[in-house]
Amino acid sequence: MNALLGWGKILLIGLVSFFFLVKGIDVLIGSYSLDNPLEFIMYFFSSSMLIMVSAIGVYYSLLHMYNFFLEGMIEMTFTIKFRRIAVIVAAISLFLTFSLNAFAYDLEERVKKFTLKNGLKVLIVERSLSPTVSFYIRYKVGAADEADGRTGTAHFLEHMLFKGTKTIGTTNYLTESKILAERDDTINALDIEKIKGDRGDKEKIDLLEKRLQRLQKEAKKYAVENEIDRLYTENGGIGLNASTGYDVTTYHVSLPSNRVE
């Protein structure tokens, strides 16, 4: 009877430890999809600790079961030392699991949702860790929305949106836009002529290439490189970046709370 009871305890410890081990691995994998550094650190270290503690429980259970089958033990003593280890493993695993779930529940409860007249959905979470505001702008569009034969256009557009606007990144948008339009027409004409190969007009190609070089030099006179990054940096902004996924495109930056406007 004692052997059966000891076997049952070891099996129970092994199953519980294995459950928490799988739970920890699942949380650890999910932590890599988090954008917020604080959330990532919380989930990463908690899940790592949960995995380590649960792995100890699984290891001890497998070790005792191995000894049971290998030595043919009829009675199995559940030593005080192993009992303490089992209790510690179970307690820490339960604590970490409930802590992760409580953190996720508390975060969800503090989210305030708003929908503007233009359909834009706004989610706000107030935190008192520092006097900063972090912005995450997400569009429900990504690589999955690209047309066949145009792979990479979503990521390309993400980078283009950092180049500027009619007022940022240029000293004279109207003049620059005319030069850029003429440059694009020149590039198209040059491509058409080059596609002809040996039948292409070499004199025309040479003329178009010289025109293209001239237009590029003229356009640079009005371009202000990295002005968006400079404006954010001068106002204390950090973490300015963007990413493109299969079905979402994200832009994010953090600013001091008194520099938002």
| Distance in angstroms (rounded) separating the CA atoms of residues 164 and 162 | 6
**102 and 147 part of one domain:** no
Q: Is the pLDDT of residue 234 over 80?
A: yes
**150 and 218 part of one domain:** yes
Does residue 150 belong to any structural domain of this protein?
A: yes
Q: Select the more confidently predicted residue: 183 or 131.
A: 183
For the chain, what percent of residues have pLDDT higher than 90? 41
The predicted pLDDT at position 76 comes to 45
Report the domain count for the chain.
Answer: 2
**93 and 146 part of one domain:** no
Cβ atoms of 229 and 251 closer than 8 Å: no
**107 and 139 part of one domain:** no
**243 and 148 part of one domain:** yes
Confidence band of 53 (pLDDT split at 50, 70, 90): confident
**194 and 243 part of one domain:** yes
Does residue 168 belong to any structural domain of this protein?
A: yes
Q: Is the pLDDT of residue 103 over 60?
A: no
The predicted pLDDT at position 16 comes to 74
Does residue 52 belong to any structural domain of this protein?
A: yes
Q: Which domain range does residue 154 map to? A: 135-259
The per-residue b/e assignment along 39-72, b for 16 or more CB within 10 angstroms, e otherwise, is: eeebbeebbbbbbebbbbbbebbeebeeebeeee
